Amino acid sequence: MKIDFPHRQFAHCESGVTANLFNYHGLPCSEAMAFGIGAGLFFAYAPFIKINFLPLTTYRTAPGSIFKKTTRRLGIKVARRKYRDPKVAEAELDQLLQSGRPVGAQTGVFWLPFFPPAYRFHFNGHNLIVIGKEGDDYLISDPIFEETVRCSAADLLKARFAKGALAPKGKIYSIEKMPERVDLPEAIEAGIREVCRTMLKTPLPMVGVRGIRLLARQLAKWPEKLGEKQTILHLGHVIRMQEEIGTGGGGFRFIYAAFLQEAAEVLQNDKLIGLSQRCTEVGDLWRDFALTASRVCKGRETVQDSFDGLAAQLYQCADREEALFTDLRAAIGR
Amino acid sequence: MKKEDVPQQGGLNAGAREVSYAVDSNGRYILESSVGWEAKNIALSQAWEEIVDQLRDVIAAIKAGKKSPLAYYMVKSQMDPALLAQYCGIARWRVKRHLKPAVFAKLSDSDLTPYAELLGVSVERLRTVPDEPPLTEFDHSEKENS
């Protein structure tokens, strides 16, 4: 049994899943648009949360929030469930597929056999769409892969019940009902306003533009505080969070720039074209940072000079983003 | 990032291609396929080198009689006792005890079954440890650089 599902490859899992599901249910939507309406852009440096035993640096909001916010802002009705019992979770997934509905699922990457081995870490916020079942294999549309993939029922169940941080607890979601009409401009503006607010006004030092500056300050102290080996590992981890599969490059800044470009057309707002270009420039700055950082990692230089230089690059990113989001909020108004 | 600047530096992604956002000559955003980027490859291979280092250390500790073979399989699957305990439904203090060679030696096959099932290896294999970390399992760079 296989649902006729148009698979499209995208850069990021959750916004790709969202866009592909909307598309299937009759609302043409790009990944960038889903990412923007869902206010996916973010920054936080939270050293007390560990991923693979290293401090969390994130360039996007928590898993699940993009889908939640896009559907809410567009008035789409969603069915969502978590499970305690894997057997029930599997039976209900099969039932939904039987009724001809594609189902989104949160999974742990570590257990998914179709991932390149080098990418299989314990990260539990990965989203994919189950589009069918043949024998003991599920057919899956995972937006970060070129083609649809297959996965054995046992492996998918393990992935759905992955343990540790962000444990998915078998979470699945699907679209129940599309609205008669959607108010795209309103949803876009709400998404933009939220990103500006979180990036500029969150009253926590580790979030938004302040979070970037916090990372810059702390990073400059790493060589002295952590010793050579840990310093290099910490730095490598920041690069991976920023650039690895799923960010679209530059820690999601390029996806967001693409969204602003689309938004300019929908809202008939030419200011957004210039802001999109500035967002691209910020993404380029983040790429420069990643490149410099990777060379520091490769050369194993923990000399203070190179870390002061990296911190300076981060301060520059923070300043540019602060100006960008201030102007963006002004361009949207209210 | 411009379309022509999308990096094509193959690495550890075993032939999988991902898409990047880039700007074409008209300033429009497009999705461009990429096989990888130097910066990412460095960061990713560094993370794996670290795991291989840890495996070497744990093999040495097991040979020296300080840890049980279970420690090797725990590190290999990038877990700590807490995560392994959650996955197997065994209390964390018991997992920690099973990491001691003397305790591990007395465990029956049925005690080890939850671990074996989780990690997809046989119980017999759980009792043995290789002399060297399995480098080939992680390193796909040579195949892909062609």
pLDDT digits (tens, 9 = 90+) for B1-21: 888 888 888 777 667 788 999
Q: Are residues A87 and A146 in the same domain?
A: yes
pLDDT at A333 over 90: no
CA distance A289 to chain B (A): 10
Same domain, A165 and A263: no
Q: Does residue A57 lie within any of the structural domains?
A: no
Q: For residues A150 and A27, state if they share a domain.
A: yes
- The 3-state secondary structure of B41-77 reads HHHHHHHHHHHHHHHHHHHHHHHCCCCCHHHHHHHHC
* A195 and A147 in a common domain: no
Q: Please state, rounded to an integer, the average pLDDT across all residues of chain B.
A: 88
CATH of the domain at A115: 3.90.70.10
Domain of residue A116 covers 13-37+77-177
Same domain as A203, residue A100: no
Greater confidence, A30 or B137?
A30
Please answer whether residues A266 and A184 qualify as being in contact, where contact means their C-beta atoms are separated by less than 8 angstroms. Answer: yes
Q: Tell me the pLDDT band of A247, cut-offs 50, 70 and 90.
A: confident
Question: What pLDDT, on the 0 to 100 scale, is given for residue B1?
Answer: 85
Residues A21 and A161 in one domain: yes
Of A118, A163, A291, the CB nearest to B138: A118
B39 to A258: CB separation less than 8 angstroms, yes or no: no
pLDDT at B144 over 80: no
A144 and A194 both lie in a single domain: no
Q: Tell me what pLDDT residue A244 has.
A: 81
Question: How many domains does chain A divide into?
Answer: 2
- A9-25 residue pLDDT tens: 999 999 999 999 999 99
Final residue of a structural domain among A155, A177, A199: A177
Query: Could you tell me if A202 and A149 lie in one domain?
Result: no
Q: Are residues A214 and A323 in the same domain?
A: yes
Q: Output the CA angle A239-A241-A246, nearest 5 degrees.
A: 115
**Residue B45 pLDDT > 60:** yes
pLDDT at A209 over 90: yes
Please report which confidence band the pLDDT of residue A334 belongs to, taking 50, 70 and 90 as the band edges: low
- The CATH number assigned to the domain with range B46-137 reads 1.10.260
- What pLDDT digit, counting tens, does each position of A148-202 carry? 999 999 999 999 999 988 899 999 999 999 999 999 999 999 999 999 999 999 9
List of chain B residues whose C-beta atoms are within 8 Å of the C-beta of residue A244: 40, 43-44
Q: Is the pLDDT of residue A330 over 70?
A: yes
Question: A195 and A88 share a domain?
Answer: no
Long-range contacts of A185-190 (CB under 8 A, 24+ apart): A185/A266, A185/A267, A186/A73, A187/A37, A187/A70, A187/A73, A187/A74, A188/A33, A188/A36, A188/A37, A188/A263, A188/A266, A188/A267, A189/A267, A189/A332, A189/A334, A190/A37, A190/A73
Whether A116 and B86 lie within 8 Å, measured CB to CB: no
Same domain assignment for residues A188 and A166: no
Looking at residues A273-293, what average pLDDT do you find?
96
Q: Is residue A96 part of a domain?
A: yes
Mean pLDDT of A232-237: 94
pLDDT in tens, A81-110: 999 999 999 999 999 999 999 999 999 999
From A139, A157, A177, give the residue that closes a domain. Answer: A177
| Within a domain: A108 | yes
Residue A49 inside a domain? The answer is no
Task: Please indicate if any CB of chain B lies within 8 Å of the CB of A11.
Answer: yes
Average pLDDT over residues A237-244: 91
Instruction: Pick A258's closest partner by Cβ from B14, B21, B47.
Output: B21
Task: Determine the distance in angstroms separating the CA of A42 from the nearest CA of chain B, rounded to an integer.
Answer: 18
The whole-number pLDDT of residue A255 equals: 96
Whether A52 contacts chain B with CB within 8 A: yes
Which chain B residues contact residue A109 at CB under 8 A?
none
- A6: in domain: no
ipTM: 0.90
Mean pLDDT of A194-212: 96
Q: Which of A121, A155, A177 is the last residue of a domain?
A: A177
**Is A157 found in the same domain as A22?**
yes
With respect to residue A54, please indicate whether it lies within any of the assigned structural domains.
no
Specify if A298 maps to a domain.
yes
